[in-house]
Amino acid sequence: MSLLVVLPDEPAGLVLPEALAQALSGAGLDVLGLADCGSFARQVEALAPRQALICLPLVTPALLDALRTWSGQPPCALSLASAPLSGVGHEELIGLGVHAWMQIDALDAGSLAALTARAQARWQREAALRTELESLRTRMDERKWVDRAKGLLMSARGIGEDEAFGLLRGAAMHANLRLGEVSRSVIEAAQWADAINRAGQLRMLSQRLVRVAAQLLGGIDAQRARVLRTQSSERVQQNLDHLAALGLGGAGIEALAQAQAAWSGLADALTAKPTAAGLADIDRRAEVLLAAAEALTEALETSGARRALRIVNICGRQRMRAQRLAKDALLAAALKEEAASARLVPTMAEFEAALLELERTPLSTAEIRAALASARDEWLRLVGGVQALDSADGRATLVRSSEALLDTFERLTASYEHSLQVIMS
């Protein structure tokens, strides 16, 4: 067995005493190196001995400091030969990882062989117990993730526990991963999908709040508009608070901070009495929030590193486009804004292109296809409202259809978010 021998520090350098050398040789032990208390821990790390034999007349503070390096779990067996120890001193050394002790003046080949064998056996037993404990902790941790993933699948897909477990087990076998790893990935995918959905809602809400302000200025269903303004404002704050609690990193933190700052500016503007000038200011501030929410959504999609999450983002953006189209149409009618009028055609083209992509996506289910068909019909009504903007009926249709499309794409986004392909991506 290879040993690192720890000796008292000597000004002239460390020298193995002749008697100790003979005892080690007689016990069949090889000296890998020598160390004093100051270099003890470093030498153990550098030489990786099977055991360290500490031969000190007295236990010194320097030795105790060295032993504390490993917090009671040294990387090799430790045996100590020293002067007699008090009960308290013996307990302290055991707590610091010393596995066997004997009186230093009784050292000989036989006692040294017994000492090191006892230390090695105890260290191996402790190492085996630590491995078993770590394995138990790993299994318990995996069970926690598996139970959470099963619950998520059962809730999202409306399936039983056995079917949910079968999905997880099949995915683990297909990916050649542990069941716990797959389960944890399922939970993380669901969290990323929810975060992208919430960040995407901020885009929609920025446009909805301007549309509602335009309704109030134009006297279009004013009572309902005031309710929507309050609900939308509360929803923005709730989503920002939820995203802030996720502990985002890097680009996500910066994008969230920009969104929070943009919302602060918009929230202040919304409290003023509706006027034409105030509506234009609200729209400018909402555009800042829209840009910040877009950057935040893109940062979350990139951080999620799952291509399937893109469909959640595409669908969620349709909510914003429906609100943006209605907002710009009302601004064009109320304020004669050329910029708002200029945005109508590009927004309609973007909405149509995204709707076609969603209709062609392989993630569709019967439920999703039915919702997309309903969205197509409502979209045509919204376009009709834009074309009949000069009439009160056209403006009312515009508001109703934009809200109906919002509700439809809220459900669709949730369906994609909870789809098996996204959850198991």
Helices 310-335 and 179-218: crossing angle in degrees, nearest 10, is: 10
The pTM assigned to this predicted structure is 0.63
pLDDT at residue 228 above 60?
Answer: yes
Q: Which of 358, 348, 415 is nearest to 379 (CA)?
A: 348
How far, rounded to the nearest angstrom, does the alpha carbon of residue 171 sit from its chain's CA centroid?
A: 21
- CA–CA distance, 252 with 303 (Å, rounded to integer): 8
32 three-state secondary structure: strand
Residue 4 β-bridge partners: 33, 52
Average pLDDT over residues 353-358: 93
pLDDT at residue 367 above 80?
Answer: yes
pLDDT band at 422 (very low <50, low <70, confident <90, very high): low
pLDDT at residue 424 above 60?
Answer: yes
- CA–CA distance, 138 with 129 (Å, rounded to integer): 14
Residue 304 has a pLDDT of 58
Model confidence over 140-198: pLDDT tens digits?
A: 888 888 898 898 888 777 788 898 888 888 878 876 878 888 888 888 878 888 888 89
54 three-state secondary structure: strand
Compute the 3-state secondary structure of the chain and give helix, strand, coil in percent, each to the nearest 5.
Answer: 75, 5, 20
* Six token digits for residue 421: 């392909």
Residue 164 has a pLDDT of 86
pLDDT at residue 377 above 60?
Answer: yes
pLDDT band at 69 (very low <50, low <70, confident <90, very high): very high
CB 56 within 8 A of CB 82: yes
Rounded to a whole number of angstroms, the distance between the first and last alpha carbons of the chain is 51
7 three-state secondary structure: coil
Residue 239 β-bridge partners: none
Write phi, then psi, for 188 (nearest 5 degrees): -65, -40
60, exposed or middle or buried, with CB in 10 Å at 0-12, 13-18, 19+?
middle
* DSSP letter assigned to residue 6: E
Model confidence over 16-38: pLDDT tens digits?
A: 989 999 999 999 999 999 999 99
Residue 153 has a pLDDT of 83
- CA–CA distance, 260 with 273 (Å, rounded to integer): 23
Instruction: Give the position of tokens 């308290």.
Output: 88
CB 186 within 8 A of CB 153: yes
CA dist list (Å): 168 to 138, 163, 414: 18, 9, 21
The average confidence (pLDDT) of the chain is 89
